[in-house]
């Protein structure tokens, strides 16, 4: 198996992911669809050889010890990949996520105009949420690049792994990778706050320590950008609060109400009008009404507040989906399947 040829084929087809599993031909995901590649079925030896080609002896020791390994891999003229190697049925399997090297401008991402306005915030917490592969990293990278072209500030990113490689323009940008430059997000964030940053990007608020430090950083005057695997604004608020012990939840609601600036929730759709994908974006901005809702544990009211404040730039997921459908960009079946309230949206689309 020639790994470079497989990655080149995937690149030529604009694949987002490549899967190498013994007993199957190499597979690639193109616009959400898994497709076999025109290569022979992989043997266990071929998969092991491909892994050894990508990792160092030290990483091989870690893989042998834990039977799972996350790392990044770069191929000249093709780009970078976020890789997970694992065992399945006693043989090595790998999933490679292609990382686009050029940061796209915000204007090219089919995002609401309000996302650009968030890059002017001086402080606070901005969360971009969604399922794996929903484009969170791309949106955040475009926001960082917009600030890089406008401000003279210090930006620190904490990532797993580093995806888009930024070139410092007007800003000084430092990028730290989990496992190589820091042992954990919490450790990296704790020390980043002593490195005179203005803006901090945390790859994921995946545990209580990281979440608490991110909120504290936003409280102390930094602009903090991060992600969560949640599908809407209300779920995002509840997920953060639920990370804390019951006795601390009222306090964290108050802190979150004071620091949260916006929640942007993304869902990707296959386009029917052109090749590629398009996001449906829910946006919640933290107005005084939203802050009171968070503080008083009335998150069930968030969808209604979003629906009644469209003039401010807020939009619900289902309204964003319906706009894509009426603009001829996505199918009715996909629209209803990914809606927050499918029955309600189906009636809306039929009207």
147-151: which pairs have CB atoms within 8 A and are 24 or more residues apart? 147/119, 147/171, 147/199, 148/173, 150/119, 151/198
Please tell me the pTM assigned to this model.
0.87
- Which tokens belong to 138? 């791309």
Residue 350 to residue 251: CA distance in whole angstroms: 45
Nearest-angstrom CA–CA distance, 219 and 259: 6
Q: Helix, strand or coil for residue 111? A: coil
Q: What is the mean pLDDT of each run of 10 residues along the chain (351 residues)?
A: 92 94 96 93 96 94 94 86 94 92 90 97 98 92 97 96 89 93 95 97 96 96 97 97 97 97 96 93 98 97 97 97 97 95 92 72
CATH superfamily of 106-350: P-loop containing nucleotide triphosphate hydrolases (3.40.50.300)
- CA distances to 2, 35, 282, 335 from 272, rounded to whole Å, are 34, 18, 21, 12
Are the C-beta atoms of 280 and 267 separated by less than 8 Å?
yes
The domain limits of the chain are 3-99, 106-350
The DSSP secondary structure of 16-56, one letter per residue, reads SEEEEETTS--EEEETTEEEE-SSPPPPHHHHHHHHHHHS-
Hey, is 1 helix, strand or coil? coil
Listed residue (241, 234, 178) closest to 211, CA to CA:
241
Q: What is the CATH architecture of 3-99?
A: 2-Layer Sandwich (3.30)
CATH topology identical between 3-99 and 106-350: no
List pLDDT tens digits, range 165-180. Answer: 899 999 999 999 988 8
């Amino acid at each position: 198996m020639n790994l470079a040829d497989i990655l080149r084929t995937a690149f030529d087809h604009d694949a987002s992911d490549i899967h190498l599993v013994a007993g199957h031909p190499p597979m690639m995901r193109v616009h959400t669809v898994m497709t076999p590649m025109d290569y022979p079925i992989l043997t266990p030896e071929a998969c092991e050889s491909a892994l050894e080609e990508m990792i160092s002896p030290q990483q091989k020791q870690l893989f042998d010890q834990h039977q799972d390994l996350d790392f990044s891999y770069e191929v000249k003229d093709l780009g970078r990949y976020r890789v997970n190697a694992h065992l399945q049925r006693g043989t090595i399997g790998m999933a490679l996520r292609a990382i686009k090297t050029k940061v796209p401008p915000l204007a090219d991402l089919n995002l609401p105009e309000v996302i650009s306005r968030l890059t002017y915030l001086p402080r606070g917490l901005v969360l971009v949420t969604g399922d794996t592969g929903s484009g969170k990293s791309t949106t955040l990278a475009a926001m960082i690049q917009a600030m890089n072209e406008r401000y003279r500030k210090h930006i620190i990113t904490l990532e797993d792994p580093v995806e888009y490689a930024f070139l410092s323009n007007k800003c000084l940008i430092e990028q730290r990778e989990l496992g190589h430059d820091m042992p954990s997000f919490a450790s990296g964030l704790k020390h980043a706050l002593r490195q005179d940053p203005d803006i901090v990007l945390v790859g994921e608020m995946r545990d209580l320590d990281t979440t608490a430090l991110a909120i504290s950083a936003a409280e102390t005057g930094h602009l903090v950008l991060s992600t969560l695997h949640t599908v809407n604004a209300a779920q995002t608020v509840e997920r953060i609060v639920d990370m804390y012990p019951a006795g601390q939840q009222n306090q964290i609601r108050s802190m979150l109400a004071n620091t949260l600036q916006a929640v942007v929730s993304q869902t990707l759709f296959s386009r029917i009008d052109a090749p590629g994908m398009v996001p449906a974006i829910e946006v919640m901005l933290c107005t005084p009404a939203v802050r009171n809702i968070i503080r008083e544990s009335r998150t069930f009211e968030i969808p209604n507040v979003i629906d009644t404040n469209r003039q401010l730039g807020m939009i619900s997921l289902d309204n964003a989906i319906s706009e894509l459908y009426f603009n001829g960009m996505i199918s009715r079946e996909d629209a209803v399947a990914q809606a927050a309230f499918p029955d309600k949206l189906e009636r809306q689309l039929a009207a």
